[in-house]
Amino acid sequence: MAKSANLYARIEPEIKEQAEAILRDLGITASNAITMFYKQIILQRGMPFAVELPEHPLDISRMTGQQLDTELKKGYTQMKTGQTIPAKQAFDELQKELGV
Segments making up each domain of the chain, as ranges: 13-44
User: What DSSP state is assigned to residue 49?
Assistant: S
Specify the pLDDT at position 99.
Answer: 87
Specify the pLDDT at position 22.
Answer: 95
Q: Which pLDDT tens digits describe the chain residue by residue (100 residues)?
A: 677 899 999 999 999 999 999 999 999 999 999 999 999 999 999 999 998 887 777 788 888 899 899 999 999 999 999 999 989 999 999 999 998 8
CB 17 within 8 A of CB 24: no
* Cα→Cα distances 25→20, 28, 35, 54, 81, Å: 9, 8, 18, 29, 51
Specify the pLDDT at position 3.
Answer: 76
CB 85 within 8 A of CB 74: no
